Amino acid sequence: MSRLRRPAKPLVALIAFGALALALSGCVYFKPNSLQVSQPGGIGPARVHFVLCTEPTPECKPNKDSDQVQYLLGIAVPPGSTPPQTLTATPVGGGSSIVFTRNDEVGKEFESASPSLQAFLSQEGETPEEKEEIEEARQILGGPFPPSGLQGVGYLSEVVQETEGATIEWSIDGDFGLPLPADGSAYAGPFATGVAFGIRGIAPDAQANRPVHCARFDGSAQPEDSALCGGTNQQKQVGTSDLRIAAPAKSTGVFVGGKVPVSFGLSFASTAPAAPAIVYTATSTLKGAKATAAANGKVTVTVPKNAKPGTYEVTLTGTAQVPNGASSSAVAKIKVTKPKLKLGGVKLNKSNGTATLSVKVPGAGTLTATGKGIVKAKKKAKKAKSLKLTIKSKGKTKAQLEELGKAKVKAKISFKPTSGISVKKSKSITLKQS
């Protein structure tokens, strides 16, 4: 980074900090105007991109130092964003990468040190040279961190061996998940960000695993191994699109061989200049099942006639129609069962020679009784309930009943669900008439 050629009077007390002296002597720093933010998947995470380089003034120039250091990053994002655990600074044109690991202590220290830094930078020099020094410090150290309305996320690098005379720049890309509003709806955006940079030296008495302390710019005594933590160097924002899919809370029941709608909740919001089109697809863990998705979030599942009863998953996925489009999905469950009939008691009516058979059906559908010598009986149900079928004789069976006062029949009971395979049972009944 740029060297302050001669400390202005407001800086004199601060030059005593080892961290500040290190930072102002020449090292790696944020490259001016390199910050970009995008949403490459059309929906999903926002990508924060920026560049680090040796002596950015504004182009990368040879490093003036040969020290062991650690770099600190502060990245400001909307509250609730999901940060990556690591960031990798990849050298442009070859060289060694630098891995940054998320560190909550770094984020808190950037924020805690920011007020004193901004108070310090608000001073005015007394001479033109002092004014120039202060202005250069403002450009290097930046504005408040995090910017208003954003939250800071901190990262600490591995130990880096700087090489005097090396000219390198590193590209960093971090994908940050969009915030999830409290009601579970889609995040409307835009996604705003800002980047702050810091540095601290490594020495036998200042190891990489020591606590992080950012130097305060208030004239108070500071630990010699303090880090210099700058403010926000640059801010950017981008309009985003977000899709959230919610699965129904309970499993949906369906009979073997049936067809069932599974309704997912959809929430879409966008502040992007052009919101991406979304294509919906559906799958199921039930072998042989057909799952068809509609744009309103309804998935229709057709269950094979040979399906085994059990609980299976149904996944609805929405994918943005852009190159390498991102997806959002949710998983619901269906419970596949075979329809079952429960035959109840028989009540005889001897005055007219009929019988009433109680049958408990498992859902909506049609219940039918047929058989040799009996009149076909039919009842419909809109839900699971008990139905009563009247068993009435006909033909020779009726003549026998009238002559002998009794006749034995075998009723074949069939239930055809509104959707699903039929189930059958039989019941022998002796009709009596007196």
Structure confidence by residue, pLDDT tens digits, 379-388: 999 999 999 9
Q: Does residue 259 belong to any structural domain of this protein?
A: yes
Confirm if 64 and 149 have CB atoms less than 8 A apart.
Answer: no
The confidence score (pLDDT) of residue 139 equals 75
Q: Which DSSP string do the residues of 221-288 spell out, in sequence order?
A: ---TTPBEEEEEEEEEEE--EEEEEE--SSPEEEETT-EEEEE-EEEEEE-SSSPPPEEEEEEESSTT
pLDDT at position 248 over 50: yes
CA distance 236 to 222: 33
Question: So what's the pLDDT on residue 399?
Answer: 95
Burial class of 108 by CB neighbour count within 10 A (0 to 12, 13 to 18, 19+): middle
**Mean per-residue pLDDT over the chain, rounded:** 90
The separation between the first and the last C-alpha atoms of the chain, rounded to the nearest angstrom, is: 112
Same domain (yes/no): 292, 393? no
Q: What is the CATH number of the domain that holds 353?
A: 2.60.40
Please report the pLDDT score of residue 323 as a whole number: 94
3-state SS assignment for residue 115: helix
Residue 5 has pLDDT above 90, yes or no: no
Residue 3 lies in a domain: no
For residue range 190-225, what is the model confidence (pLDDT) as tens digits?
A: 999 999 999 999 999 999 999 999 999 887 888 888
Looking at residue 176, its pLDDT comes to 98
Tell me the two tokens of residue 297: 């979030």
Do 71 and 214 reside in the same domain of the chain? yes
Say if residue 249 is in the same domain as residue 196: no
Give the 3-state DSSP-derived string for 129-183, with helices as H, strands as E and coil as C: HHHHHHHHHHHHHCECCCCCCCEEEEEEECCEECCCCCCCEEEEEEEEECCCCCC
From CA 112, how far away is CA 368, in angstroms rounded? 78
Give the pairing of strands 98-102 and 151-157: antiparallel
pLDDT band at 124 (very low <50, low <70, confident <90, very high): confident
Residue 306 pLDDT: 95
% of the chain beyond a pLDDT of 90? 78
Q: Which of 7-11, 16-20, 85-89 has the highest mean pLDDT?
A: 85-89
Q: Is the pLDDT of residue 130 over 80?
A: no
pLDDT digits 0-9 by tens, 63-89: 887 889 999 999 999 999 999 999 999
Q: What pTM value is reported for the model? A: 0.83
Residue 2 within any structural domain of the chain: no
Q: How many domains does the chain have?
A: 3
Asked if residue 415 lies in contact with residue 361, where contact means CB atoms within 8 angstroms, the answer is: yes
Q: Which of 229, 221, 172, 171 is nearest to 23 (CA)?
A: 229
Q: Which of 222, 238, 254 is the last residue of a domain?
A: 238
Question: Given a cut of 70, is residue 174 above it in pLDDT?
Answer: yes
| Cα 168 to Cα 384: distance, rounded to the nearest angstrom | 73
Same domain, 349 and 332: no
How far is it, in rounded angstroms, from Cα 217 to Cα 91? 33
- Read off the pLDDT band of 280 (50, 70, 90): very high
Helix (H, G, I), strand (E, B) or coil at 180: coil
- Is the per-residue pLDDT at 125 higher than 80? no
Q: What is the mean pLDDT of residues 112-131?
A: 85
Where is the domain boundary, 212, 238, 264? Answer: 238
Q: How many Å apart are CA 126 and CA 76, to the nearest integer?
A: 34
Average pLDDT over residues 162-182: 93
- Please check whether residues 211 and 307 belong to one and the same domain: no
* Position with higher pLDDT, 97 vs 124: 97
For residues 18-30, give the mean pLDDT. Answer: 56
Lowest mean pLDDT among 133-147, 161-175, 388-402, 417-431: 133-147
Beta-carbon count within 10 A of 306 CB: 10
189 and 314 inside one domain: no
Q: Which band of pLDDT confidence, cut at 50, 70 and 90, is reported for residue 167?
A: confident
- Alpha-carbon distance 431 to 428, whole Å? 10
CA distance 287 to 111: 54
Are 362 and 333 members of one domain?
A: no
Determine contact, residues 136/129, Cβ cutoff 8 Å: no
- Which of 33-37, 164-168, 200-204, 239-243 has the least mean pLDDT? 164-168
Range of the domain at 172: 9-238
Domain limit, last residue, from 307, 337, 367: 337
* Strand 169-176 to 46-54 pairing: antiparallel
| Residue 116 pLDDT exceeds 70 | yes
Both structure tokens of 49 = 């991109």
DSSP annotation of 15: H
What's the residue count for the chain?
Answer: 434
- Give the pLDDT band of residue 21 (cuts 50, 70, 90): very low
Tell me: do 251 and 231 sit in the same domain.
Answer: no
CATH number for the domain harbouring residue 248: 2.60.40.10
**Residue 13: per-residue pLDDT:** 41
pLDDT digits (tens, 9 = 90+) for 314-350: 999 999 999 999 999 999 999 999 999 999 999 999 9
User: Closest Cα partner for 39 from 323, 300, 318?
Assistant: 323
Does residue 4 lie within any of the structural domains?
A: no
CA distance 357 to 429: 9
Does residue 412 share a domain with residue 396? yes
Please check whether residues 79 and 197 belong to one and the same domain: yes
pLDDT of residue 341: 94
The strand pairing partners of 237, in sequence order, are: 192
Distance CA 44, CA 367 (A): 50
Task: Report the 10 Å Cβ neighbour count for 312.
Answer: 20
In Å, how far from its chain's centre is CA 371?
A: 58
In a domain? residue 228: yes
Residues 16 and 163 in one domain: yes
Same domain, 152 and 258: no
